[in-house]
Amino acid sequence: MSVNVNDVVVRAQDGSSQKLGEFAGKVLLIVNVASRCGFTKQYAGLQELQNIYSSQDFLVLGFPCNDFGGQEPGTLEEIKSFCASTYNASFTLFEKVHAKGQTTEPYTTLNAAPPAGDVEWNFEKFLIAKNGNVIGRFKSAVDPESVELKAAIEDALAA
């Protein structure tokens, strides 16, 4: 079963509703992020992916999440400031979400993508094709700059 995110509505930084379908035609990497996690250093790698592939219609979309060990307690403004000052990260961040249990979008939809199930920890990554279909799911331990993830992004961009 393919899962498509084009009709998913999320909350943008300014609190407004935004449909992920507005990004149709772009390859997306959706990541639940946290500022106080062992994987937080992945912010730098995520920004590097954005830098490398943005000219080819690729975007990293970050969704702060405090579901795992309370590792994202800050406000969105605090999170954005931390990301910019600590990791020079400027990819798009959205309002905080829940990625497990009583989920909020985009995770209510993403968690249905094979292999279905709740996100297990911070920095789990979902790769979205230009048509909005979920085409990959990468656990937290998969580094953004890994050969595996870069190859999947490049395949999606070439499709």
CATH code of residue 35:
3.40.30.10
Mean pLDDT (whole number) for 68-90: 93
Residue 3 lies in a domain: no
**What is the structure's pLDDT at 158?**
97
**What is the structure's pLDDT at 12?**
93
Helices (H), 33-120: 42-53, 76-87, 107-110
Q: What's the chain's average pLDDT?
A: 95
Strands 125-128 and 92-93: unpaired
Q: CA 20, 119, 82, 30 torsion: positive or negative?
A: negative
The residues that are catalytic are 37
Residue 69 lies in a domain: yes
**What is the structure's pLDDT at 102?**
87
Give the closest residue to 94 by CA, choosing from 104, 86, 85, 102: 104
Residue 1 lies in a domain: no
Residues in Cβ contact with 119 at an 8 Å cutoff, skipping those fewer than 6 apart = 32, 65, 67, 99, 100, 107, 110, 111
- Asked if residue 42 lies in contact with residue 125, where contact means CB atoms within 8 angstroms, the answer is no
Residue 81 lies in a domain: yes
Q: For 34-64, how does the pLDDT look when each residue is reduced to its tens digit (9 = 90+)?
A: 999 999 999 999 999 999 999 999 999 999 9
Give the closest residue to 69 by CA, choosing from 123, 116, 138, 125: 123
Residue 117 lies in a domain: yes
What is the C-alpha separation between 53 and 68, in angstroms, rounded? 29
At residue 1, does pLDDT exceed 70? no
Total domains in the chain come to 1
The predicted model scores a pTM of 0.96
| Domain that includes residue 13, residue range | 9-158
Residue 4 lies in a domain: no
**What is the structure's pLDDT at 51?**
97
Percent of the chain topping pLDDT 90: 92
Percent of the chain topping pLDDT 70: 99
Q: Which residue has the tokens 């939809």?
A: 109
Q: For 81-119, how does the pLDDT look when each residue is reduced to its tens digit (9 = 90+)?
A: 999 999 999 999 999 999 998 899 999 999 999 889 999
